[in-house]
Chain A
Amino acid sequence: MNINMTLIGQTIAFAIFVWFCIKYVWPPISNALHERQKKIADGLDAASRANRDLELAQERAEQTLRESKEQASQILEQANKRSAQIVEEAREQARAEGERLVASARSEIEQEVNRAKDELRAQVSYLAVMGAERVLEASVDEQAHRKLLDELAAEL
């Protein structure tokens, strides 16, 4: 076993290889590894964030759906109520109108009856005068007895 210059040669070779490794081998591998680590970490982060977002969105969608359903049922209820009301109102109006018509018809009839009565009265008085004339064979002065006759007619 001879110790010789190989010792120094080996030390120099060692120094050169270490230097080369420090300068050209370590940095690219180290960078790539750490970058990949960061990328994976970022990816995982993004995935969990997306998951959370999705959950939130689902919740929101559910809530919106629930609200809209509620609203729809409310609107339906309102509409039902309103239609019932309208029907009720229409019925009320119809009844009032009917009653009004009946009342007006009745008053017209009454008027008609009154007019007929009046006419009848006038005729009756005339007929009575005529009859009396004929009975008396003498002409009663119409002018003179007008007042009397009118009183008679009004009594009818």
Chain B
Amino acid sequence: MAAGNEVSTTYYIQHHLQNLTFGNHPENGWSLAHSAEEASEMGFWAIHLDTMGWSIAMGLLFIWIFRKAGKMATTGVPGGLQNAVEMVFEFIENMIQGTFKGRNPIIAPLALTLFVWIFLMNSLKIIPVDFFPVLFAKLGVDYMKIVPTTDVNATLGMALGVFCLILYYSFKVKGVGGFAKELSFTPFNHWALIPFNLVLEIVALLVKPFSLAMRLFGNMFAGEVIFILIAMLPFWAIWVLDVPWAIFHILIVTLQAFIFTVLSVVYLSAAHEHH
């Protein structure tokens, strides 16, 4: 889209950043939102069909590829797909060995799922920003935001999953008393400072999932906005900025997936530590 007047530019950007929302509208009942206002009026009882659809598709792709490689996995000489899968696998395994101090068979598969899934979801960014929205508009669907990690619901959803595990293992490994003691007596080991410690530690604990979610969301969302801005240049000039930005995003996509995974593992490792 060539840069038109200010209204259409704003509309274009907003349109690309609007999820396909299905929810309970106060006037229309359960329906698809036809505008950003309608979507926000639906409140909590709404679901982003595009985010869910694409994230589940990427999750299934991950499961399918790795399951296939796992089934084919032999002790003999590995083939191409198997090599790639095993490379990722060993990368994760080494990372776990380096950062996770406890012993828990769940952590490694969890990290593998997080890393590959987020990587695949992030990778959708490389697809030109207009491609799917225009395709779905032809099919009569108003909105289509294909990168799930540019939706804060998706990143926060995963971070909440990790947060639940942090709480679960904190209670399981340290016990209720041990966990309470850790929250009360760190960083200052003195009874008079218990309230101060509690405030500090609980804030630090609660911030963990938000920092995870916001970091990934912020990076992906900002990148997406820039892609959309670049897409508004004249068509013959788009590639000048778009190609370097996309190449740069190969790094960002991997890096953000990695950071999310490593930080999750580090948080979970801290949850396993005894004091």
Contacts and interface: CB of A to CB of B under 8 A. Distances in A.
A4 interface: yes
A27 B105 CA distance: 10
Nearest to A13: B56
B46 A21 contact: no
Interface in A1-26: 1-11, 13-15, 17-18, 20-22, 24-26
Given A21-B63, A33-B89, A3 B70 contact: no
B48 interface: yes
B45 interface: yes
Interface string B102-136: 00011011101110010000000000000000000
A138 interface: no
A11 B148 CA distance: 13
A2 B40 contact: yes
Contacts of A20: 63
A7 B67 contact: no
A10 B152 contact: no
Nearest to A38: B75
B30 to A, nearest CB: 12
A8 to B, nearest CB: 7
Contacts of B156: 3, 7, 10
Interface residues of B, number: 54
Nearest to A17: B59
Contacts of B267: none
A53 B161 CA distance: 57
A42 to B, nearest CB: 11
Contacts of B71: 28
A106 interface: no
Contacts of A14: 113, 117, 157-158, 161
Contacts of A26: 108-109, 112
A135 interface: no
Contacts of B117: 14, 17
Contact of B73 (A8, A13, A32): A32
A115 interface: no
Contacts of A36: 74-76, 78
B153 interface: yes
B161 A18 contact: yes
A29 B73 contact: yes
Given A9-B157, A10-B52, A29-B70, 10 more contacts: A4-B45, A6-B19, A6-B51, A6-B52, A9-B52, A10-B148, A13-B52, A21-B112, A25-B66, A39-B75
Interface of A: 1-11, 13-15, 17-18, 20-22, 24-33, 35-36, 39
28 contacts: A2-B42, A4-B21, A4-B45, A5-B23, A5-B46, A6-B47, A6-B52, A6-B153, A6-B154, A7-B156, A7-B160, A9-B47, A10-B52, A10-B55, A11-B164, A14-B113, A14-B157, A14-B158, A17-B59, A18-B110, A18-B114, A21-B112, A21-B113, A24-B63, A29-B69, A29-B86, A29-B89, A33-B90
